[in-house]
Amino acid sequence: GANTPRADASGMSAGALRRVATRFEESGAAVTWELAYGCFRRPARAGVFVTGTDTGVGKTLVSACLVRRWQALYWKPLQSGLADEEGDTPTVSRLAGGESTQGQGVRCFPPAGAYQASLSPEAAARAEGVTIDSALLALPMEAPQQPLVVEGAGGLMVPVTDEIMMVDLAQRWGLPVVLVARSGLGTLNHTLLSLEALRARGIAVAGVVLNGPPNPENSRTIAGKGKVRILAEIPHEAELDAPTVERLAALLPPWSEIAGA
């Protein structure tokens, strides 16, 4: 079979290649080949998009751990449910900004849309009589070499507008995805379907973070059948505070491994 050409080799023209193929066929040999093409796009800035297989799988905790581990910036583009909770931006700021950051704190960009109802962004905005303007959902470009952790709302197929889902925003932004999934029963179907949806759109996957009690069998199955790296397995914690997040953050790989993947 073919191999790496010599350093001094020069490529054939299309005409020369046809003549060589014809000579092969005339001598009774057979020539087969496969063609592949791809479109590769460098992200507009350093960072990842954190999404989940469902609501409540631990995206905000993982986002806080990533911010802490990488000393990253943070952006929650769309926030709903503010009638019931403080919101993910102050939560990440509080959890990731421990004392050992030498007082630097966490730089969080404000959401492009924040709504009261615990609904999808589209439904929560509609309940307040507004429509989400997708033009406002542009990646913050401040400090583009510093990692930015972008946390999505719900899972990939959560509606943002009548025409846009969260997965469409992930594709638009072009950041590699960190997929957060439960570790226990039911995670295989949800996780493998989410990976399939991402790859069908050509979205790069940085890896999966499993959240909950250790489950080696599920971890192996997701890594093998999903052809994906398990970035970390985050155990259940009874209490979440800045020291806990600092400890959990050490389970995640350094930014250099994600940036170089």
Asked if 142 contacts 224 with a C-beta cutoff of 8 angstroms, the reply is no
Q: Which helix (H) or strand (E) holds 148?
A: strand 148-155
| pTM confidence score | 0.82
2 lies in a domain? no
Condensed to tens digits (0 to 9), the pLDDT of residues 57-105 reads: 999 999 999 999 999 999 999 999 999 989 999 999 999 986 544 445 7
Total domains in the fold of the chain: 1
Structural domain that includes position 217: 47-259
Name the band, by pLDDT with cuts 50, 70 and 90, for residue 12.
confident
What pairs with residue 205 in β-bridges? Answer: 177
CA distance 36 to 62: 36
Question: Do 96 and 67 meet the contact criterion of CB atoms below 8 Å apart?
Answer: yes
76 tagged catalytic: yes
Q: Is 41 contained in some domain? A: no
Cα-Cα-Cα-Cα dihedral of 12, 18, 19, 25, to 10°? Answer: 130
pLDDT of residue 91: 94
| Residue at 10 is within a domain | no
Q: Is 239 inside any structural domain?
A: yes
Overall average pLDDT of the 156-170 stretch? 95
| Cα angle 144-191-42, degrees, rounded to a multiple of 5 | 25
Dist CA 246 CA 64 (whole Å)? 9
Which of 3-7, 43-47, 191-195 tops mean pLDDT?
191-195
* 82: CATH: 3.40.50.300
Q: Is residue 31 part of a domain?
A: no
Radius of gyration for the chain, computed over Cα atoms and rounded to the nearest angstrom: 23
One-letter amino acid for residue 130 of the chain: V
- 34 in a structural domain: no
Per the prediction, the chain carries an average pLDDT of 91
Count other Cβ atoms within 10 Å, centred on residue 3. Answer: 5
Q: Does 140 map to a domain?
A: yes
Q: How many CB atoms lie within 10 A of CB 87?
A: 17
- For residue 149, what are the β-bridge partners? 48, 74
- Judged on CB neighbours under 10 Å (0-12, 13-18, 19+), 218 is buried
- pLDDT of residue 137 exceeding 50: yes
Section 219-246 average pLDDT: 95
235 is a domain residue:
yes
| Closest residue by Cα to residue 58 from 226, 237, 194 | 237
